[in-house]
Structure 1
Amino acid sequence: MSTINKVPASAGAEWLLAGFALLRRAPVPLATLSVLWGLLSMGVMLVAVTLPAMTLAMQFLLVLAGPLFFAGMLWAVREVDQGRIASPSHLLQPVREGHALALVITLLPQLLAALVMGALLFVMVGTEQLQHLREVYQQMQVIAAAGGEPDPSLVAGLPAGRLLLWLLLVAVVFVAVKWMTFIASPQILFSNTHVVDAMRNSLRACVHNWTAMLVFYLLAGIAIFAVGMGTLLLALLLALVLGPTLAMGLWQFVLMAIVMPVLAGAAYTAWRQMLGTGTAQASAAPPAQIEV
């Protein structure tokens, strides 16, 4: 049974700042892990390009490897937090610890959500209306390509209300799925929690601390945008010397080298605070707790 701590809304900012702080403590080792993942992903996609028949299999492999990579980043972040050195071998540490299957299972909520929402779209809108929507979209693309203005009558017969309701449901389900996995991996890795319990604890912790989650997502979005624009400007300058292709490739690697360790550090810090293993609290009052 896990104890879920109530944290203030400002904790969302603390998680993000902690992620940057951990990256500053070991910028080269943590960035190296991200670059290695980027190179491995590039290698897999090159195989897919070389062998078109393997494209679907390679994409599926990358999807399965995603949770394992992020878990490896979490492991490296904890090493840095505890004063040890992060190394490339940490990318495989979750596999060596026997957590690979549990981490891959965390993808199931996303798969089930996609299937359910796809089926719900057909039920709510209907096949004929979806076909009509596709035709309208194609017509609007043709008009936009020709430089014309779309005719409002094109969308007059579309079931706008049902589509908006479906989009709202998609947003709610998307948030629920993300919250189910937000701190599930640290529990699996560091507390040996069963994957189902880990996802349940993660969802309840995020719901219980929804204000902190809102602050975190807002600030993380701003930070990622700022880092992306800053590094893109540098890439545009490098493009004058190295060429656009190489400069854009370097930009993607630099962006990944910054963003991934920060997000891993934020998730690690959030796990410590919300599930009782952290010490940071915003006030002297004892935290409110719920049992799960």
Structure 2
Amino acid sequence: MSEIRKVSASAGAEWLLTGFGLLKRAPLALGSLGILWGLGTSLVLSLSLLVPALGTLLQFLLLLAGPLFMGGLLWAVREVDQGRPARPAHLLQGVQEGRAPHLLVALLPQLVGALLLGTLLLVLVGGPSGFQHLSEVMLKLNELSQSGTQPDPAQIEALVATLPAGRILLWLLLMLATFAALTLALFVMPPQVMFQRATGVHALRQSLRASIHNLPAMLVFFVLAFIAIFAIYFAVMIVALVIGLIAGQAAAMAVAQLLLMAVLMPVFAGAVYAAWKQMLAPADAGSTPPPSSGHVFEA
């Protein structure tokens, strides 16, 4: 079992800066991997709409591809960090290295969490009849919001009053707690599988322990990451607005999605890689992430 190192709260900011710094070192190479990921996702979703009979199968394949692509993107990030070029083939490096089964273990806690939350919701709202009533109320509220007229507050209040508000609030709190636990367990799981040859279950356990052990750094990282995502999204929407005036809204939305994938996925992978190096990586992997430029936010 690898040693879990304690880092300062400011390390969370360093992880994010490292992600931007690595993207800045190889923007085309790493950005193209994010675009390939986005193109693959868009293609699968388009096929599922064109061929509804294959929709479930295609979306299941897309679900399986997520952990594999993340493992490959992390491999490409390490190549850039160590002075080697990132290549499109790296996106499937997890399959080539025989790490696919262990990367796919990342789906296991998500499946268990979804089943538990679904069961809890069913119990808290009073069984199948209560769940059906909740669905009907949500459908009516959605119809009121899309009617184009000002909804009657009394009508909305009457609909909400028929629901077990306290139990639904409890379920929402449990959902937030489950999401937080899954995030901590999955955060540095893929780099352990790819670079330390750890099994999927062991990597999940170590990721959860390392994240809890360094909770202040995790909180700093996610707060700053939220701010960065908002800023990137705002910049991409400005670009999409210009493209929309030239080529139409469909082209603008497609370009916006690919630009977001080209920036967000490599930056997030770089941050995860930096967090793994500081908290869990063996000594020969280097525990200090590469220095970041002071101008990374200008990009």
Judge conservation of contact 2:279–2:287 (CA < 8 Å) in 1: no
Runs of 4+ in 1 over 6 A off after TM superposition: none
Q: Distance in 2 between matches of 1:133 and 1:106?
A: 31
Name the residue aligned to 1:206.
Answer: 211
Name the residue aligned to 2:229.
Answer: 224
Alignment of 1:136-175 (within 5 A): 136-144=137-145, 145=147, 146-151=149-154, 152-175=157-180
Paired-residue identity, %: 52
Name the residue aligned to 1:10.
Answer: 10
Alignment of 1:7-46 (within 5 A): 7-46=7-46
Judge conservation of contact 1:22–1:81 (CA < 8 Å) in 2: yes
* Deviation digits for residues 142-163 of structure 1 (CA, Å, limit 9, x no counterpart): 3332322232232223221111
SS in 2 for 1:5: coil
SS in 2 for 1:98: coil
**1:234 correspondence with 2:234:** no
Q: Distance in 1 between matches of 2:132 and 2:66?
A: 34
Name the residue aligned to 2:131.
Answer: 130
Greater shift after overlay, 127-136 or 182-191? 127-136
Cα 1:138–1:183 shift into 2, 3 Å: same
Judge conservation of contact 1:79–1:85 (CA < 8 Å) in 2: yes
Amino acid aligned to 2:144: I
Amino acid aligned to 1:231: V
Q: Distance in 2 between matches of 1:55 and 1:84?
A: 39
Alignment of 1:1-292 (within 5 A): 1-127=1-127, 128-144=129-145, 145=147, 146-151=149-154, 152-277=157-282, 278-280=286-288
* Deviation digits for residues 113-163 of structure 1 (CA, Å, limit 9, x no counterpart): 100111111122212333332332233333332322232232223221111
SS in 2 for 1:4: coil
Q: Distance in 1 between matches of 2:53 and 2:136?
A: 30
Judge conservation of contact 2:72–2:93 (CA < 8 Å) in 1: yes
Judge conservation of contact 2:74–2:191 (CA < 8 Å) in 1: yes
User: Structure 2: where are the runs of 5+ without partners?
Assistant: 290-299
Q: Distance in 2 between matches of 1:38 and 1:23?
A: 17
Post-superposition shift, 1:276? 4.5
Judge conservation of contact 1:23–1:262 (CA < 8 Å) in 2: yes
Amino acid aligned to 2:86: A
Q: Distance in 2 between matches of 1:276 and 1:90?
A: 21
* Deviation digits for residues 31-57 of structure 1 (CA, Å, limit 9, x no counterpart): 111111222222323332332211110
SS in 1 for 2:4: strand
TM-score (norm 2): 0.90
Judge conservation of contact 1:143–1:150 (CA < 8 Å) in 2: no
Over the aligned positions, Cα root-mean-square deviation in angstroms equals: 1.5
Q: Distance in 2 between matches of 1:24 and 1:175?
A: 30
Q: Distance in 1 between matches of 2:44 and 2:142?
A: 33
User: Structure 1: where are the runs of 5+ without partners?
Assistant: 282-292
Amino acid aligned to 1:129: G
Judge conservation of contact 1:140–1:150 (CA < 8 Å) in 2: no
Q: Distance in 2 between matches of 1:244 and 1:143?
A: 27
Cα 1:8–1:98 shift into 2, 3 Å: same
For this pair of structures, how many residues does the alignment match? Answer: 281
Q: Distance in 1 between matches of 2:119 and 2:49?
A: 32
Amino acid aligned to 1:133: L
